[in-house]
Amino acid sequence: MNEFAPLLAQTVASRRESIVGFLRDLIAETRHGEAAVLRAIAKASADMGCRVEWVEYDPQAVPMVEEFAAEEAMTPGLRQCVVARIGTPGAGRSLLFFGHPDSEPLSRLDEWRHDPFKGEISGDRIHGWGVADDLAGVAIYTQAIALLKACGLQPKGDVILVSTPSKRHARGVSALLHQGLTADAAIYLHPAESGLGMKEIKAFASGQLEFRIRVEGTAPPTSEPLQTAFAHLAVNPVAKAFQVFEALMRLDERRGAQLHHPLLHQAVGRSTNLMVSTMNCDPTDSLSRVRSECWLGGAISFAPPEPMAQVMRQVEETLAALGQDDPWFREHPPQLQWESGVTGAEVSSEHPLYRALAGAIEQVTGHVPQVNPMHTSSDIRNPMVQKAIPTVGLGPLCGDLSQNGQTDEWVDVEDYLSAVAVVATTIVDWCGVEPFKAGQKV
């Protein structure tokens, strides 16, 4: 039992209003944009005695390690991060916390039942734009330091609080890692969409690839505007696309039979999937004309430690093989376009970081957490894949925009408060603590 755990829990209860109030302040700032949220985070961190640094970077200039995205998928322009430090480098183990202050673009605000910028509390939920994705995560690690200070404590080892853009391939934490940011371990704080909240730890993330495939066709030799009677003389790209689909499904069956990860099999009975999620043709209006092309799109999930390049090669070989027996595909091969890709990563439940966080959760909530292996392409992968820093994640119960019909985003208040106590307890266990020195920035 952590000797400070009871004190931390009691102090969370007495500071409930201010801990929730900080989250409400961040929600209010979303009306004014990402920069306003970052300024609020920077001020709160400085007020707690942290050393605060602003870092500017270009997402398109960040080196890609086992990851890629089409340039058009990234929002162009320079972005900013706030990096706050407290503790003494080398005096204890270091710990990096990160979350993202950027939310989805504001839309459909008139459909909300709760004011999206007031942090209204209804029942056990606090509502607000971005609260579940990911203002609560940023608030948790900020308030954990405030909690330690309120208890007269500060970390011995270096604690690094990183608020960095993530959405639309903003890649802020990767930018900082490639600029030299490092730590002995990292924790990604983000509310949990799984419905389990603080009963789970994100210690496993499958990789994911997204793709599109263009399939060509050709119209029949006729000048007639309606081509149905000549259809047998055409090469219908819809029919050829189904051949591509069937080949991909055969690859999916082979991969599903060959690959096995115990966590994924226990959860869903399968360790990898190749899903074709969309099919569309050129925008000809007539239903009596052969299309010139058809597109398929989809995604592939794959478990660590399978290399991303191996999965890509299997898809490429599958498409190339279509030309061996099909003259049309030999002359007009399917055109594969990779849209984005990330590699998976995993931390063992026996790792000291996992044990420290799991122990803190059990002390604070009374629950023994479980590993949720279903967070495909989770940001916990970034420090692990980019710089081999062991990383896990956790967060309170939530309902984000995708789960709530794009309105009334929420986070469970009690779970949020528990997360603050859990993070403070983990800092005590991992980094060690010493008496807080008033007026001294450490």
Residue 73: its pLDDT value, please? 66
Let me know: does 128 contact 408? Beta carbons within 8 Å.
Answer: no
- Of 87-96, 365-374, 401-410, which gets the smallest average pLDDT? 401-410
For residue 440, pLDDT over 60 is answered with no
pLDDT band at 28 (very low <50, low <70, confident <90, very high): very high
Average pLDDT (428-442) is 75
Alpha-carbon distance 73 to 338, whole Å? 12
Residue 1: its pLDDT value, please? 59
Alpha-carbon distance 95 to 157, whole Å? 8
Alpha-carbon distance 230 to 289, whole Å? 10
Residues 122-147: pLDDT tens digits? Answer: 999 999 999 999 999 999 999 999 99
pTM, whole model, 2 decimals? Answer: 0.90
Residue 63: its pLDDT value, please? 86
Residues 193-207: pLDDT tens digits? Answer: 888 899 999 999 999
Pull the structure tokens for residue 334.
Answer: 């399917």
Query: Measured in whole angstroms, how far is the alpha carbon of residue 135 from the centre of its chain?
Result: 14
Selection from 226, 205, 209 nearest residue 337 by Cα: 209
Residues 181-194: pLDDT tens digits? Answer: 999 999 999 998 88
- In the chain, pLDDT over 90 holds for what percent of residues? 81
Average pLDDT (47-63) is 93
For residue 2, pLDDT over 80 is answered with no
- In the chain, pLDDT over 70 holds for what percent of residues? 98
pLDDT band at 442 (very low <50, low <70, confident <90, very high): very low
pLDDT band at 441 (very low <50, low <70, confident <90, very high): very low
